[in-house]
């Protein structure tokens, strides 16, 4: 972890890596609420090209509820993003947001402690993707 995310590179296609990430997150209780094909949106809005990059908005409802009960301001930091980025043909970077890194933004120690469980789950998901 580099403070804001957990990251690893895998040999795979972008589409298959997205499926793998989605399954691994689901196994840890995270559902994917949103999908943004960032490269397509950038191209559409600016005409500029970028490497294929997909952002998955992942949420574990039980952990999100606990965090919300502790501090409703947490909703500005939800859902957690999982980024799948093609860095070379057949090579993909998986970058999953670190909940503790996000919670530190609010300066609420209780939220940071609650996020530690989410960190463990996110790390396991990344390891298993």
For the stretch 109-127, pLDDT in tens is: 888 888 999 999 999 999 9
For the stretch 32-83, pLDDT in tens is: 999 999 999 999 999 999 999 999 999 999 999 999 999 999 999 899 999 9
Domain spans of the chain? 5-128
Task: Give percent above pLDDT 90 in the chain.
Answer: 83
What pTM does this model have?
0.91
Q: How many CB atoms lie within 10 A of CB 55?
A: 18
pLDDT confidence bin for 105, thresholds 50/70/90: confident
* In contact, 96 and 55? CB cutoff 8 Å: no
Cα–Cα distance, 87 to 93 (Å, whole number): 6
pLDDT confidence bin for 97, thresholds 50/70/90: very high
Helix axes 14-27, 109-128, angle to 10 degrees: 130
What would the CATH number be for the domain defined by 5-128?
Answer: 3.30.310.70
pLDDT confidence bin for 102, thresholds 50/70/90: confident
């Amino acid at each position: 972890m580099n403070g804001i995310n957990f990251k690893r590179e895998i040999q795979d296609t972008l589409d298959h890596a997205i499926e793998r990430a989605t399954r691994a997150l689901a196994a840890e209780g995270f559902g994917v609420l949103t999908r943004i094909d960032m490269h397509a949106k950038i191209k559409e809005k600016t005409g500029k090209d970028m490497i294929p990059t997909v952002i998955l908005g992942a949420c574990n409802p039980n952990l999100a509820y606990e965090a919300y009960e502790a501090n409703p301001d947490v909703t500005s930091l939800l859902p957690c993003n999982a980024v799948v980025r093609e860095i070379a043909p057949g090579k993909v970077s998986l970058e999953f947001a670190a909940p503790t890194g996000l919670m530190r933004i609010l300066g609420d120690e209780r939220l940071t402690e609650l996020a530690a469980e989410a960190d463990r789950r996110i790390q396991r998901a990344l390891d298993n993707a």
